[in-house]
Structure 1
Amino acid sequence: MPFAFTTSVPSSRGAMSFANSTTANVSPAMLVAMSTMVTTASSATFLSIEDETSVHVAKMLARNNTLTALNLGKHRMRDHGCHTLVDYGLTRNATLRKLNLRCNELTEMGGAAIHRLLTQHPEVTWLDLSCNRLATRGVMDVAQALPFNYTLDHLDVHSNGIESDGIVALAENALRSTRLTSLRLWGNHIGVRAAEAVMQLVTDSAEDTRPLELDVEPYEVGDRVCVARLSPNEPPSAVVMSVA
C-alpha cells in the first residue's frame, strides 16, 4: 500500500531531496532504501503504516541522529508494529522528543512496549496515545513507567477504554513523576473511585511547585466526587483553583 513520507532534508545531503517539506509517494518496498537515506531529518510524518513496514521505519529511527518529532497517528498500527518500533527503533534513537501514536489499533498488549519506551528512551517529553484501545491493563503498564521517567512533560491517554483501576494507577504514578505537567484523561470510564483519585491528584499537585494540568475537573455533589471535562479554553490553573 503506497503512503506519503513528509520531511525536510537539505538537498546537499543526498541525491534524494525532501527540501522545503516536499511529499513523495513511495511503496513499502522503497521504505528499505528510505530507512538508509533519510537519517538526518528533524521531523517526519508517515501517512500510512502497517506492521511489516514498521520494521523499516524502526531502521530509520535507529540510524537517525537529528529527528525530534514523529507523527504516526491514524496509521492502523497494531501491537506488534508498536513493539517493533520501540525495540528496534525508538530505544536506539537518542534525539526523539515528541511522538504521536493517536488513533491507532493499540490494545492492552501494546502497553508493555510503551513502558519500555518510557524507561529505555528517557529523552521523550511529549507522548500522545489517545483514541487507542489500551484499556486498563495497557495503561497500567504505562503508568508504572512514570516514576522512572524524568523527562516526560505531556501524556495523552484520553478515549482508551480505561476503567477505574487504570485511572487510579495513572493518578498515583503521576504524583511520583518528577516531570509530568500535563495529563489528558477524558473519554474514559471515570467512576467514583477514579474520580476520588483524580481529586487527590489535583489537591496534592496544587501543593507542589509543579502543578499538573488536566483536561478534567473534579467536583463534589454531596459526598460523591464526580469529574467534568475542562473546557479547552480554560487556563491551566483552573483545575487547581477549583479545589482550593
Structure 2
Amino acid sequence: LGEGLKVNAKLTTLDLEGNQICDKGAFRLGKALEVYTKLTKLVLGGNKIGDKGAIGLGEGLKVNASLTKLDLNKNKIGDAGAIGLGEGLKVNVSLTKLNLWGNQIGDKGT
C-alpha cells in the first residue's frame, strides 16, 4: 500500500482504522509520506502500531508538507514513539490535528 501511495496522484484521505497494521506497515507508510504530497488525512486508529512504527511516521512527518490530520488513537505507542513523532513535529509545517488517545504514552513521552 505504501508503494502505491508513491505513484497515486489523487488520493487525499486514507482510512485504515481497525486493521492489523503493526510497526513494519506503519514504518512503510512513514516512508511513503516522505514522497507522497497529496494525502491530507491519514487514519490509523485501532491498529497495533508501537514505538517503531510511530518513529517511522515521525520521520515521514519531517518531510511531508501536505498531511493535516493524523489519527493514531488506540494503538500501542509508548514514550519512545511519542518522542519520535515529536521529532517529526518539530519541523513539520502542515499537521494541524494529531490524535494519540488510548495509547501507552507516559510522562517521558509528553
Specify the TM-score bucket, using the shorter chain as the normaliser.
over 0.9
In the alignment, is residue 119 of structure 1 matched against residue 20 of structure 2? Answer: no
Q: Which structure is higher in RCO with an 8 Å CA cutoff and minimum separation 6?
A: 2
Q: Which residue of 2 aligns with 1:137?
A: 52
Deviation (angstroms), 1:112: 2.4
TM-score by length of 2: 0.93
Say which of 31, 38, 43 aligns to 1:128. 43
Say which of 84, 92, 110 aligns to 2:7. 92
What amino acid does structure 2 have at the position aligned with 1:117? A
Q: Which residue of 1 aligns with 2:108?
A: 193
The answer to whether the 8 Å contact 2:33/2:64 transfers is yes
CA distance in 1, matches of 2:100, 2:93: 19
What amino acid does structure 1 have at the position aligned with 2:72? V
Q: Report matched runs for 1:102-117 at 5 Å.
A: 102-117=17-32
Partner-residue secondary structure (3-state), 1:92: coil
Name segments (4+ residues, structure 1) moved above 3 Å. Answer: none
CA distance in 1, matches of 2:86, 2:5: 26
The answer to whether the 8 Å contact 2:74/2:102 transfers is yes
Give the count of matched residue pairs: 110
The answer to whether the 8 Å contact 2:13/2:41 transfers is yes
CA distance in 1, matches of 2:33, 2:63: 8
Q: Report matched runs for 1:34-113 at 5 Å.
A: 85-87=1-3, 89-113=4-28
CA distance in 2, matches of 1:142, 1:175: 13
CA distance in 2, matches of 1:112, 1:191: 22
Deviation (angstroms), 1:193: 0.9
Q: State the identity as a percent.
A: 32
Partner-residue secondary structure (3-state), 1:147: helix
TM-score by length of 1: 0.44
Partner-residue secondary structure (3-state), 1:96: coil
Partner-residue secondary structure (3-state), 1:122: coil
What amino acid does structure 1 have at the position aligned with 2:67? L
Deviation (angstroms), 1:185: 0.7
The answer to whether the 8 Å contact 2:43/2:71 transfers is yes
Which 5+ residue runs of structure 1 have no aligned equivalent?
A: 1-84, 196-244
Say which of 85, 91, 94 aligns to 1:170. 85
| Structure with the larger strand share | 1
Q: Which residue of 2 aligns with 1:183?
A: 98
Partner-residue secondary structure (3-state), 1:103: coil
Partner-residue secondary structure (3-state), 1:193: helix
